Structures are given as structure tokens and as C-alpha cells.
Amino acid sequence: MEVDQVVPLPRLPRVAVCGGTHGNELSGVYLVRELLKLQREVMKKKQEEDSKPALVLLVLSNPRAMQQCRRYVDTDLNRCFTHATLNGPLSDMAPYEIIRARELNALLGPKGSPEAVDLVCDLHNTTANMGLCFIGYSDCDWICLHIFRHLQREMPDTPMRFLHFDVSNKESYSLDSVGKHGFAMEIGPQPHGVVRSNIYTAMKVGVQHMLDWVRLFNSGNVFEGGFVDVFTMVKHIDYPRDSETRNITAAIHPCLQDRDFCLLHPEDPLFQTFSGETVRYKGTEPLYPFFINECAYYEKGIALSLARKRRVTIPAIRVQTEQEQQANEQGFASEEEE
Amino acid sequence: MEVDQVVPLPRLPRVAVCGGTHGNELSGVYLVRELLKLQREVMKKKQEEDSKPALVLLVLSNPRAMQQCRRYVDTDLNRCFTHATLNGPLSDMAPYEIIRARELNALLGPKGSPEAVDLVCDLHNTTANMGLCFIGYSDCDWICLHIFRHLQREMPDTPMRFLHFDVSNKESYSLDSVGKHGFAMEIGPQPHGVVRSNIYTAMKVGVQHMLDWVRLFNSGNVFEGGFVDVFTMVKHIDYPRDSETRNITAAIHPCLQDRDFCLLHPEDPLFQTFSGETVRYKGTEPLYPFFINECAYYEKGIALSLARKRRVTIPAIRVQTEQEQQANEQGFASEEEE
């Protein structure tokens, strides 16, 4: 790949912004509600003017969980978007979230099909001190990486990282995987069930810049190549637990708490037990901790996750011309026929 | 009342420390579990030595809510300790927490009776930036005020306040009201469902100093009089809400967030709406805000509470002599007979 060469990529006519995939992560819930209100006003005005409304799909993903202000009702919705779960047999007793995942897949997908929306941005919060993170399954999705770099430039005061969950051995499972491109926008720290103005505003500004970028891209703007630091998830670490009760016996060490993305070295303090002892990091490689003390991960057995950082080169990109697009679609059609 | 005069008060032989009254406020849950473990070890040792074990009752108040990591299962346990709820008729369909409140009243009370434990310290967390707060129903319970002052002196680096919920017009409703003396020890900020080492340690040290004070008191120590600043709750303020959906339409203003106990003046920013406007405080009196953006109070319609501060003079105290105690008990008995 030559950085100088401008890579033409398909247009992104249909973008979805989703909130409330976890019903107690409130920034996305209130932001999508606010955007829906604005969209209704704009559409009313545009109808009067008889012009075409903007195609941003605004989705409240898990209304039942939102109503109860819980992460989920029966099972974690954001783990339900594998092909097996979306397409397997469905009993009458199916968990609410599996039914809802299929509704969302019908609305935004089907996952992996040419009908899927072009980009899904799924809004999340964390209790960890992670700033604004993009979380994606690919470290070579130029669309997501360019959007990320755009936000980094436009929001220089917001700590921002690109997190890559490598699922090359298994399948992507989250809502954003339903789109042709997709990422979770994860912002913290914010307690679940609480909305903090600063976090809400960072998300609102981030979504605005994301939509601005898509408009610029679709209208033919050329985005220059460059570099993005990508954090690739390596492993999770669980809390020390009582062997009988499985209750945790320690909390994140005060020296590690809130220090997401600060390099953790072998023998650095990791936990402080409830009786006061320090438990140290026994790994051999310095790695970057993140999702430190995320509330929802106690039940998943994750006290923190660790990542390796590397610099990814991204090419210059622009939207395909109509000719390129047609050639591309014919290629897709002939692939389909095979 | 003369400050110089030493007021003799009844011994405090039975102290209860309760955690998990709200099942997702984890400092108290893990602290009581840790203290139970230590107590089992000490009692085993003391049994071997054939000596009398210490009489600290350690209670996990709401095990079902703890198991689900929720505030409560059916209804807020910490609102169930009125005489009406504790003693009214009980149907088969009674909420779990009402049944549990009666069990706790049998264990620690009965509320208002001479059999009740002498002191209840009920452990809580808040998402608000409140430091360590004592919350009590009285501003003239010398025991609670002296314990508070002891902690203030022993933990000079911990922001600490005494909050007085004046229920002179209605009845106290919380678990700590079951003891002859009682207070909630409320520490934050900590997201519910999360345990942070610094908050856990502050609670652990606070409880240790509280128990130390009780031991000193019971062994005849004289505690000098002095002053305590008491914050008396004046009123609650709800979020701005949509008149139809009742959804909130604003969050705490970034200038107010985390500024618990910093004087709020008329026209200071109070909320920031989700569309970006500032809503200002329209009161006429400067007051002290607290429980700013407490997670559990969204459903109760409380965005923050406001208090007035005043300085309370507390007398010197000591434990009653055996003679004084006997005279006191005879007085109580004759009252009972009336």
C-alpha cells in the first residue's frame, strides 16, 4: 500500500446512530432522544419545503432495559449479533434480547448483506476512566480509522483512543457489526444509571463530527493518509476470588484505578485485597490496561483488560465516482450469481 | 446546657454495623464480609481462650438485592423502618423488603424498645462527591455527634460532614433508626455496582475509629465538649422533565457537578439541558447542595438536595456509673409500668 495513492471507497448513504443498547448507559439514551427530537423538527420543516430528509437512522436499541434502567433484561443484547444467534431456531421462551437483536438486524442489516446500513455508530458508557474510545473489530477499516482521526483533530482536549478487538478466530457479536462499517463509541468515566453533562457533551460533539465527516466524504472530499495508534486487546484479568463463594476478595489497587491506557509494567500493583495486601502484575510484557473496574464486567469475570499498542498507516481515501461505484456493484452482482 | 458540665450517658454494650442495605452499594457489602471473616477468626481464638467475644453485630441487610447487585428487589429496604410498615398487617404478597425489614427489626430492635441495640451504623455509598457523611435524624444525639467529631480528628484528610434529616413532622424510616442511636455512614463518589479501593479503605478506617470510640466511651473515657457543623436538609430539587413522558430533559450543570457542600447562590447554574441551555437556581437563599446527581434518586425525583449549615454545641460526655445506670433503669421501668 502506498500512502500517496488515494483509495476510492463506496459511498456511505445510510448511517445509524444507536443508543440504549445497554439500558443504563445514559449518555446514548438521552443523546439519541435529543437527536430524534431535532430530526422530527427538521423533517417537518423539510416536508414543508418538499426536500429529501437526511438519512441518519436513530435507534433506541433496548427500550425494555432502558425503561428499567438496567444493562439488559434477560441477556446482554450486545453479545447477540453473531450469525448463529441471529439465524438459529427461536423458541417461545427466547430471551427478550435475542428477539430484539433480530428486529435490529432486520432494521439495520441483515448482517453481512449488501442491504446492511453503511455505518453503525453504537453509543456506550463505561465506569472506567477511558475518555472517548472507538471500539472496532478491524485495524484496517479505513472508514472507521479516518473518522477516528477526524475526531482526534476536532476534539484535541478529549483523551481519545482506538481499540481493536481482534476476533479473527471467532465472530463479531456486537450491534455495530451489523453495518458494513461500524464501531462502538465508548465514553467514561460515568456511573451507569447516571448522566454527567461533560460526558454527554463529549458524545454529542463526537457524533456531530462523525456525521460531518460522512457528509464531507460523500460529497467528494479527499482525506489525506497518515497514522493512527491502535490498541489491540491481548487479554482480560479477573479479580482475585474466594475459591468457594466466588466472591471477589480484592479491588483494583488505588495506584491503578483511573489509570486506563497508562502502561502497566511487570510487578506494578494490580489489586488491593480487602484485608489490605497488594497483589502485583505477574505478566512479563508491559501492556496498556483499559476497562479498569468497569461495573458491568464484574459478572463477566473481568477486572481489567490489557492491550498492545501499534501504529497503523492509513491511506488517503475518497468516495468512489459513479463509474467506480457501478463497476463495483456489477462485481458484487456477479459474485452473488456465482 | 453548660459546655463544662460532663453529661453522663448510658453504656453502649451492643453495636451493629450493617452493609448491603442497598445491594449495589459495595463498600459496605465487602467491608461487612471482611469483618465477619475476622470476627469468626477472633471468636474461634477466644473460644479456645474461653473469653467473652466482642459484641459487634455484623449484618448483611439485603442478601437478595446483593445477590442481584441491585439497590432492592421489590421496594427500597431503607424506607421500610417506620412503625406502620414494621407492625401493620402483612399479606402473603408482601414485598421481600418488608418481610426483611421485620426480620432486621426483630434482630436489632424492636425499634423504640429498651431491647434495641445501642448503636446502628449503616454503611452506604453514593455516586455524589460527598466524601464521608454521617446522616442522622437528630442534631442533638451527643453520641453520634461525638463519634463524628472523633472521626473528623482521626481522619483529617477525608472530607467529612454531618447531615441532619429533620423528620420532626414525620417518622424516621431507615435501618439506623432501629437502634437507640444510629446513623448512616455514606461515602462517595463511587458508582453503584463498583468497589473502589480508596472508598473501601475510608469506610474501613471510619468504622474502626467508630468502634474504637465506643470502646473508649464504655471504658470510662471523658470526651470534652465543643462544636460540630451540622447540615440540616431543607429541600430537594428535581430534574427538569418533559411534561408528557416525564423523562428528564437536562443533566446537572458541569459547574455544579461534584461540588457537593459548596455554597449554591441564587442565579448559579443548576442544570444544562440536553439541547445546551443553562437553567439557574431560582431560590432566594444561598444553601449547601448535596447528593448532587445521586444515581438512585433519579426515580425518586431528586437531582440534588439543599441544606442550611449551623454550628451545634456539644457537651462533654462520659459513660454513666453503675449507680447512675441502675437509677436510670429503675426510671425506665417505672415509665414502662405507667
pLDDT one-digit tens code per residue, A59-95: 999 999 999 999 999 999 999 999 999 998 988 899 9
Q: How far is B156 from chain A (nearest CA, A)?
A: 19
Cis peptide before B110 (omega within 30 of 0): yes
Query: B336: which residues sit within 8 A by CB, 6+ positions away?
Result: B114
- What is the value of ipTM here, to two decimals? 0.93
Q: The pTM is what?
A: 0.94
Chain A CB contacts of B32 under 8 Å are none
**B286-314 burial, b for 16+ CB within 10 Å, e for fewer?**
ebbbbbbbbbbbbeeebbbbbbeeeebeb
* Pairwise CB contact (< 8 Å): A196 & B252: yes
* Pairwise CB contact (< 8 Å): B295 & A254: no
Test the B interface: residue of A37, A73, A197, A270 with most B CBs within 10 Å = A197
Residue B335 has pLDDT above 70, yes or no: no
* Pairwise CB contact (< 8 Å): B200 & A247: no
Chain A CB contacts of B201 under 8 Å are 254, 272
- Whole-angstrom distance, CA of residue A3 vs CA of residue B312: 72
Query: Scanning every residue of chain A, which has its alpha carbon at the shortest distance from the alpha carbon of B251?
Result: A197
Query: A317: which residues sit within 8 A by CB, 6+ positions away?
Result: A6, A7, A8, A9, A142, A143, A146, A217, A222, A223, A225
For residues B283-292, average pLDDT: 98
Query: Scanning every residue of chain A, which has its alpha carbon at the shortest distance from the alpha carbon of B198?
Result: A254
Please tell me the predicted confidence (pLDDT) of residue A328: 76
- Which among B30, B295, B299 has CB closest to A194? B295
- Which among A196, A254, A298 has CB closest to B251? A196
For residues B161-172, average pLDDT: 88
A87 SS3 class: helix
For residues B311-318, average pLDDT: 97
**A123-140 burial, b for 16+ CB within 10 Å, e for fewer?**
bbbbbbbbbbbbbbbbbe
- Which among B31, B196, B293 has CB closest to A194? B293
C-alpha cell read off for A147: 473518522
**Each residue of A12-69: pLDDT tens digit?**
999 999 999 999 999 999 999 999 999 998 888 877 776 555 579 999 999 999 999 9
- Which among B30, B127, B275 has CB closest to A274? B30
Residue A142 has pLDDT above 50, yes or no: yes
- Whole-angstrom distance, CA of residue A243 vs CA of residue B329: 49
* Pairwise CB contact (< 8 Å): B295 & A195: no
Please tell me the predicted confidence (pLDDT) of residue A185: 98
